[in-house]
Amino acid sequence: MAEKSHQEGYPTKAFGWAARDQSGVLSPFNFSRRATGEKDVAFKVLFCGVCHTDLHMIKNEWGTSSYPVVPGHEIMGQVTAVGSKVEKFKVGDKVGVGYMVGSCHSCDSCHNDLENYCPEMILTSGGKYHDGITTYGGFSDIMIADEHYAVRIPENLPLDSGAPLLCAGITVYSPLRFYGLDKPGMHVGVVGLGGLGHVAVKFAKAMGVKVTVISTSLEKKEEALEHLGAHSFLVSRDPDQMQAAIGTMDGIIDTVSAAHPLFPLIGLLKTQGKLVLVGGPPKPLELPVFPLIMGRKIVGGSSIGGMKETQEMIDFAAENNITADVEVIPMDYVNTAFERLAKADVRYRFVIDVGNTLKI
């Protein structure tokens, strides 16, 4: 009860949609946010993306959720107030907040602009803030965040189709940069053409990389080649196609979050190639060691990015006209959207028009 009364003691009235239990069903929810501190920006939420992580959180599929859960960590809005020591923003600016709203500021990761790997990273939704209060995400009318964890949104980047870049975008941009898979003329495979995969294709193409989409079925071939402009398409269940592509790729970004074999993917890599996992399968994957040894190959992982890199990604997206392919929905459609998301029935990302459709 103490935590609830502390929450209610916050002075800034807020309204959003929350899940109350593991059913994951969302409904209107009145709550409070903290006052705007000296380093905080307050902003009206205009759009918020719907991520697969939100689905895990509202249903407590990772066992870490504490209810009520207000989801949403791909948040775009407009600044309404700034604290006395804020330097990056002024009232009226467009602003974005992604997967995190805090970290310790003192560990090696924080000192190296890798706040996303800080052991004390604070999640935007369902985390615990420094004062012990549960964080509520962007399925709400207003947000208040430390300016360090907010990004400036360039004028030419649309807020609706730009919102998913704050999670899906940085999740694929960061490994392309870190693992050196961003050099013109390189050949990179993208496994899975969903919310992450379709953005990975766009970023890699803008970096001058040759892109092959790797999928289990032919269904997405036209989409990959005609709509997204991938250079080639590979059906992973076709032995002849896979055999013909052996040893041709400098790297692979694997976005699949279901159990799948890694052995065929490792075979596609050139000597010293890199397979980078950014999806999160619920069970351990089998890792064959000899193909790694025989080709000095690497299997790595990557998670979002630090704030400096996230700003860099947003600026790169604006310069290269990169946005996510989205279906914009009203707030009261969100439960249906989650049902469809669970069946992968979206091309490729839902974004809620919070500013126009969130009604008290």
pLDDT digits (tens, 9 = 90+) for 37-50: 999 999 999 999 99
In contact, 74 and 129? CB cutoff 8 Å: no
List pLDDT tens digits, range 10-35. Answer: 899 999 999 999 999 999 999 999 99
In contact, 204 and 175? CB cutoff 8 Å: no
Pair of tokens at residue 18: 């929350």
Mean pLDDT of the chain: 95
Mean pLDDT (whole number) for 118-141: 95
| Residue in 44, 42, 43, 40 with CA at minimum distance from that of residue 84 | 40
Pair of tokens at residue 76: 């775009």
Examine the pLDDT at 4 and tell me if it is beyond 50: no
Amino acid at 273: G
C-alpha angle 305/183/269, rounded to 5°? 90
What are the beta bridge partners of residue 144? 42
User: What CA–CA distance (Å, rounded) separates 200 from 258?
Assistant: 18
Mean pLDDT (whole number) for 301-311: 98
10 Å CB burial of residue 113 (0-12, 13-18, 19+) is: middle
pLDDT of the residue at 2: 39
Confidence of residue 7 (pLDDT cuts 50, 70, 90): low
Each residue of 42-63: b (16+ CB within 10 Å) or e?
bbebbbbbbbbbbbbbbbbeee
Mean pLDDT (whole number) for 56-66: 90
Tracing tokens 């694929």 back to the chain, one arrives at 172
* Rg of the chain (C-alpha set): 20
In contact, 304 and 327? CB cutoff 8 Å: no
The beta strand positions in 162-310, using DSSP E, are 187-191, 210-215, 232-235, 249-254, 269-277, 298-301
| Residue in 208, 201, 145, 131 with CA at minimum distance from that of residue 168 | 201
